[in-house]
Amino acid sequence: MSVQVWTYIIVGITFALYIGIAIWSRASSTGEFYVAGGGVHPVANGMATAADWMSAASFISMAGIISFSGYDGSVYLLGWTGGYVLLALLLAPYLRKFGKFTVPDFVGDRYYSQTARTVAVFCALFVSFTYVAGQMRGVGVVFSRFLEVPVNYGVIIGMFIVFFYAVLGGMKGITYTQVAQYCILIFAFMVPAIFISIMLTDNPIPQLGFGGKLADGTYLLDKLDGLHEELGFARYTEGTKGMWDLFCITGALMVGTAGLPHVIVRFFTVPKVKDARLSAGYALIFIAILYTTAPAIAVFARTNLINTVKDRPYNQMPTWFNKWESTGLIQFEDKNGDGKVQYVGNKEKNELTIDNDIIVLANPEIAKLPNWVVALVAAGGLAAALSTAAGLLLVISASISHDLIKKQLKPDISDHAELVIARVSAGFAVLMAGYFGVNPPDYVAATVAFAFGLAASSFFPVIIMGIFNKKMNKEGAIAGMVTGILFTSGYIINFKFLDPGLNSEEHWLFGISPEGIGFIGMLLNFIVSWVVMKFTPAPPEEIRELVESIRYPRGATEAHEIEL
């Protein structure tokens, strides 16, 4: 059977599974809609957290960045992995004990201010919409190739699917759907990696294979370095980015992960604080399987790609090349008129432009794996994108219905009315996500990196100081959040939308790219918060006692009621 037929079969089966789970586990109360009733098993919650956190950026785009950028791309691997450890160990248990399942709810109560809650709501919406744009773009990329429709149509199809199970099932439906999605995405990621590792290095373990030897006795990475130098690219194992920019990108991704609202809410879907810790540990194991494999896939794909396209006549390109070219994600311009594809490091002479986001999806085809493996990877990419998109939509929904309407505008609203508003908000969020998926600011991983930077500059400082600094007051928190989010968003918007022609190292502030500016925004947030705190009234005594109570694990093994 053809790749397209296999794709229809495998993707159709997985979508039917997602929708079936959503119907079976549909939410009947706000408790089930927001936090799945707080009764999810730690192992299941660990899988759901891993699927929620490993977005299209992890599955589709991260290996693509490492594949094309080499050493420079490793910042995404380090930043995202380190960020999850930071979140699991430093923040999650305390937030779970505090008992507030959204970041704006935590900010509003910890800083005893509806203004602080409102600022946090808008920050959460800004971060979530930026992040979900990358996920919907990932959906569009997958559909555009494997269902052979334009990217924009692919985004619309994904909107309908995620709308159905996110709006109907809420967090309860999403949690169990994400368990299935994790199983699918990790299987889809590992199968081609194992196949190609055996083909290239005769080693079935990809993590070892990409550091192994080829059939001719040369090391794979040495071979790739040689291919890069031959074509005029920088050596694959050597970086070209400035050290300060690398540090800032890694830092922004780490602390941004720790401030992401859709991951934090995951620790409220289990019954006890102890279970929150366990599910964080399980999730780290499940995440590590993919993240330790991504560099291997990047190296395998890059080697096979160069060997396939180098100096090859354009009219003899394989079928996969022509299929991806029809989507616009591969472009060939015969600059010297010789009919051959000249893929070189010199931008003026290079004739081939390849989108970072296709490399994982095209990898099985490049390696000539069976068609069912190609279709399986498509299903995995969709699972990764849709799982995170659904979690983000719930954050947007909860921010509007719970934090804005119930907590501020209409406190006496009934449970049923709040549930209706939550579903309407999720529906609106799907439409907005679709728009940003059609008009993204950058490729998937870069768009997601912007979201992490925004989360780092807005949420991380107020959460850290809210837990570990009893003296931090509402004035400091509000001033810090506003400063951080305005500075970071303004920097990104300037270089990505208003003046993209100046988006180069010579024009960046201190040589820091838009992907890394969130780290500076975070530092500004800390500084402004601390300075304002020094010149404004201290928080009430009951707030100090509250902060003291959440820092010590009294009753940590007992179930805690989550306020709704």
Q: Among 286-300, 385-399, 426-440, 458-472, where is mean pLDDT lowest?
A: 385-399
Query: Pick the residue with more confidence: 482 or 375?
Result: 482
Percent of the chain whose predicted confidence (pLDDT) is above 70: 86
Check pLDDT > 70 for residue 309.
yes
Check pLDDT > 50 for residue 104.
yes
**Helix, strand, or coil here: 559?**
strand
Angle between helices 74-86 and 243-258 (to 10 degrees): 40
Question: What are the pLDDT digits (tens) for 472-493?
Answer: 999 999 999 999 999 999 998 8
What is the SS3 string spanning 92-130?
Answer: HHHHHHHCCCCHHHHHHHHCCCHHHHHHHHHHHHHHHHH
Question: What are the pLDDT digits (tens) for 489-510?
Answer: 999 888 877 777 777 777 788 8
**Given this model, what pLDDT does residue 31 score?**
47
First to last CA, the chain: 51
**Given this model, what pLDDT does residue 453 score?**
87
Q: CB-side exposure of 234: number of CA atoms within 13 Å?
A: 11
φ and ψ at 218, to 5 degrees? -85, 150
The model scores a pTM over 0.75: yes
Token pair listed for 439: 């008009």
Whether 75 and 88 have beta carbons less than 8 Å apart is answered as no
DSSP H stretches of helix in 232-272: 243-258, 261-264
Question: What are the pLDDT digits (tens) for 75-96?
Answer: 888 887 888 778 777 777 777 7
Check pLDDT > 60 for residue 322.
yes
**Given this model, what pLDDT does residue 556 score?**
44
Check pLDDT > 70 for residue 170.
no
* CA proximity to 66, closest of 292, 267, 295, 269: 295
**Given this model, what pLDDT does residue 526 score?**
95
User: What's the whole-number mean pLDDT along residues 408-431?
Assistant: 77
Query: Pick the residue with more confidence: 96 or 105?
Result: 105
Report DSSP state, residue 508: S
* CA proximity to 421, closest of 446, 443, 404, 441: 404
Contacts 24+ apart (CB under 8 A), 166-169: 166/389, 166/390, 166/393, 166/394, 166/426, 166/430, 167/393, 167/423, 167/426, 167/427, 167/430, 168/22, 168/23, 168/26, 168/27, 168/423, 169/21, 169/22, 169/23, 169/25, 169/26, 169/27
Neighbouring C-beta atoms of residue 247, cutoff 10 Å: 15
